[in-house]
Amino acid sequence: MSKLLSVFAILTLVGLLSCGREAAEPENQNQETANREVEPAQNVPATMDTGARPLDNVRASDRADYYQAEPAMTIDFDKSYIATVHTDKGDIVMDLNAEYAPHHVNNFVFLARQGFFDGLTFHRVVPGFVIQGGDPLGRGNGGPGYKVPAEIGLPHELGAVAMARQGDQVNPKRESSGSQFYITLAPTAQLDGAYSVFGKVIQGFEIVQQIAVGDLITRVDILEK
């Protein structure tokens, strides 16, 4: 009976995040690693996005289906990419893994530099599981107008950053949502092999833990070094 209840609980969580909308699901990393500080670059040129962005004057809801295709590959594979998600609770710093998920990192960097995420909210929070944001409609069914090819392989560690997607019945290739991303609040191994992880939180995990539904993403900055 206890085993049946455990299986039912896991299926309930997975169903909650799928719901025929953009599904989210997560796995396991060390707390110390997830909360470590970003090391300052030593003698390494770095560039940070500043100033105006193409979507600055486009309302959040009007960004839905704004594009027609995944962006061209423009990231430099000789460089690393750090994303800082500024929220009204504080900053969340994420190390993006272009080696294992190049399409997802390129896409996230592109959207951040366009200003796509600026002014959006975290529309879904499942305590002990994930926080999810990046939907221009704020309902869980919006995106930029395209999907990203699956790059499944990295584990869902504590603080893993991954892309949500629609369920297997309507999305057998397991392609990711173009913009909806989630961060795991706990190791979530049941999501391994099903969703594309493309980074991890390296600073500000305490902010991740404070996020509530409706909290604002004020801006996402990309550090290239």
- How many other C-beta atoms are found inside a 10 Å radius of the C-beta of residue 112? 22
Is residue 26's pLDDT more than 90? no
- pLDDT, residue 4, reads 39
Where does the chain show beta strands of DSSP type E?
47-48, 81-87, 90-96, 120-126, 130-133, 147-148, 160-163, 176-177, 181-184, 197-203, 216-224
Question: What structural domains does the chain harbor?
Answer: 2-224 (2.40.100.10)
DSSP class of residue 37? Answer: P
Label residue 52 by pLDDT band (50, 70, 90).
Answer: confident
Choose among 173, 224, 220: nearest CA to 196: 173
User: pLDDT tens digits for 200-214?
Assistant: 999 999 999 999 999
Is the model more confident about 111 or about 15?
111
- pLDDT, residue 189, reads 97
Q: How far is CA 48 from CA 45, 93, 137, 140, 217, in A?
A: 10, 13, 28, 30, 18
Mean pLDDT across 183-195: 98
Mean pLDDT across 142-155: 98
- pLDDT, residue 217, reads 98
- pLDDT, residue 34, reads 33
- pLDDT, residue 46, reads 61
pLDDT-above-90 percentage for the chain: 77
Mean pLDDT of the chain: 85
- pLDDT, residue 47, reads 64
- pLDDT, residue 50, reads 62
Q: How far is CA 155 from CA 46, 158, 173, 200, in A?
A: 28, 9, 19, 10
Label residue 40 by pLDDT band (50, 70, 90).
Answer: very low
Is residue 8's pLDDT more than 60? no
User: pLDDT tens digits for 61-112?
Assistant: 999 999 999 999 999 999 999 999 999 999 999 999 999 999 999 999 999 9
